[in-house]
Structure 1
Amino acid sequence: MKHFAVLLPMKDEEKSKVHRAEHLQFLKEKEEEGYIFAKGRFVDGAGGLVIYKGENLEQVEEMVKKDPYVGLGARNYEIHEWEMNLS
């Protein structure tokens, strides 16, 4: 599996507040399915970052588009394949 960094910059702060529980449930499900390596919000309120695991960009983008934050217009998204370096 490859890793993909998904930036979720803030688009609509009010929608983000309203749909937070749905977004967190979505992430929990993806984590239980083995598709999430790490996740978290930016403390400055600019959005968040999710590191997905997947076979290819298309697979990950399909998942990201199902995130309520993205689908309901609370956040934009940007995906980059990420090469992890632990040294």
Structure 2
Amino acid sequence: MKYFACFLSMKDEEKSQKYRPQHLDFLETMRQEKKVLMNGRFTDGAGGLVIYRAKSLDEAKELVEQDPYIKLGAREYDIHEWELVTDYNFD
């Protein structure tokens, strides 16, 4: 499995507030399915970061594009394959 860092930059603050519950529910489901390793918002209000687990960049993009924030125009995204280095066991 590969990891992908997805930056969700603010596009529409009003939509971000409106769709936040759906976005958080989506991320919770993705974490339970082990498709999201971790996520969190930037404290300066610029957006957030989600670390996805997927077999390929295309698969990761398919997951990102299911996020209500992306589907409903609240955020834009930029995604990069990320080589995770840690001694922590996430399994």
Secondary structure of the structure 2 residue equivalent to 1:77: strand
Secondary structure of the structure 2 residue equivalent to 1:5: strand
Stretches of structure 1 that go unaligned for 5 or more consecutive residues are: none
TM-score under structure 2 normalisation? Answer: 0.93
TM-score under structure 1 normalisation? Answer: 0.97
The residue number in structure 2 matching 1:7 is 7
Q: Distance in 2 between matches of 1:55 and 1:82?
A: 12
The residue number in structure 2 matching 1:73 is 73
Per-residue CA shift, 1:22-61, capped at 9, x if unaligned?
Answer: 0000001111111111100000000000000010001110
Q: Distance in 2 between matches of 1:33 and 1:84?
A: 19
Secondary structure of the structure 2 residue equivalent to 1:66: coil
**Which amino acid is the alignment partner of residue 24 of structure 1?**
L
Shift of 1:84: 1.2
Q: Distance in 1 between matches of 2:36 and 2:66?
A: 14
The residue number in structure 2 matching 1:43 is 43
- Count of paired positions: 87
